[in-house]
Structures are given as C-alpha cells and as structure tokens.
Chain A
Amino acid sequence: DTEVTQTPKHLVMGMTNKKSLKCEQHMGHRAMYWYKQKAKKPPELMFVYSYEKLSINESVPSRFSPECPNSSLLNLHLHALQPEDSALYLCASSQTTSGGNTDTQYFGPGTRLTVL
C-alpha cells in the first residue's frame, strides 16, 4: 500500500485567513515532505521532516508553517498568504532519508490552493 492522503482537495482563502493543509500516510515512513507546484512546472521542495524533526526548510516564507504531530501526520499551516502562493501543494513520504532505495518518494493527490 503506497497511499498518501491529503485534505482538502481544494481550498480557497482570502489573504487574511488562516487555514491548514493535512497529509497522512500509513506506510510506516519516517520522512515526509511538502512541495509547491505551479502549473506545468516540476514540484519545488518546501520542507522535509525526518523522524518528526524538521530537517530542511528551503527558505520558505514564514506565512507557511509546517508541523509534524507524529510520524504519520504532516500539516501545513497557512496565514496571510499572497495571491502568488496559489498553487498545487503536494505531500510526499519516504521510508527514510538515509540514501538508497528507501528514499523513494510517494506522493499524495495534492491540495489545489487559491488565494484571493
């Protein structure tokens, strides 16, 4: 089972709203990722959690705040977003980040975010 789930599928928010994106996996993976993807472009890495600790933050603005409550869950808290933040947000997981075969990433279906 290589399923990663994300909720909601679609989200429309104003620039003053606070919302959260959720991601869940039950594959026993210990690494989870947030990506941002613009139309017709490859995903851009935002954050990496390894063993529930933030290991990579790719200079993402503070209006994006990740949280990893446990090894199966990953949240992305959104506050005071800008229209240019509108994109597809993808969550992924992998067994580890230790190199080799276990780094294969499996993706969720994404959340389409629109900021008005």
Chain B
Amino acid sequence: AQTVTQSQPEMSVQEAETVTLSCTYDTSESDYYLFWYKQPPSRQMILVIRQEAYKQQNATENRFSVNFQKAAKSFSLKISDSQLGDAAMYFCAYIGSNYQLIWGAGTKLIIKP
C-alpha cells in the first residue's frame, strides 16, 4: 500500500524568506502523480503544484517549486519570498493507479511578519 509522510507538523518562516516543506512517500508503482495542496484558515483546499513521476524536471508555479527525487521517494516544496497569505496547512498527496488520493498528515506553515 502507498503511504505519504510529512514529518514536520509545524514550520515557521520570516516573511520574504524561503522555506522548504518535506514529504516522503512509499510506493511500488512506477507511474503516479504527486501534489501539494494548501488549506488556509478559509478552509478551501487549493492545488499548489503537481508533479508527474515520469518527468524528471521539477515542477514550478511562480514562487512555489518542488524538489522531486524519484529514487529517494522524496517530494519537497520550496516557497520563495514567503508572504503572509502563504500561511496555511500544506498537504502532500499521492495518486496512482487506483485514482484515490493518499494524503500526508499535513504541515502547518506560520509566516512571521
């Protein structure tokens, strides 16, 4: 069975600085997708970034980028130039052949002004 692990329950960063959130996963599948979702206090689960396992190039979306290490089964999220609006719970998630999302436990990101 696939698992997703986020080992940092909480992280804090100074506004305008860079922070990296960690995620590791376990799977025997070779074709899958990985996601980072953001859930601010407003509750809506927002897709931040998506990575296809067959692509070696790391996905980027503006200030958000990932470091995808397939062999190590690692999928970290880097947020550059952190802003107050980035404060949220961040969930790492995996989807494979059975189309059901497997979620990590989440990391609460605090932005210090």
Contact = CB atoms under 8 A, between A and B. Distances in A.
Contact of A90 (B45, B99, B104, B106): B45
Interface residues of B, number: 25
Nearest to B9: A40
Interface in B21-62: 31, 33, 35, 37, 42-47, 50, 52
Contact of A110 (B37, B43, B52, B108): B43
Given A90-B45, A104-B50, A42 B35 contact: no
Given A40-B106, A45-B100, A56-B100, A104 B47 contact: yes
B99 A103 contact: yes
A104 B91 contact: no
Interface of B: 31, 33, 35, 37, 42-47, 50, 52, 89, 91, 93, 95, 97, 99-101, 103-106, 108
Interface of A: 2, 31, 40-43, 45, 48, 56, 88, 90, 92, 94, 97-101, 103-110, 112
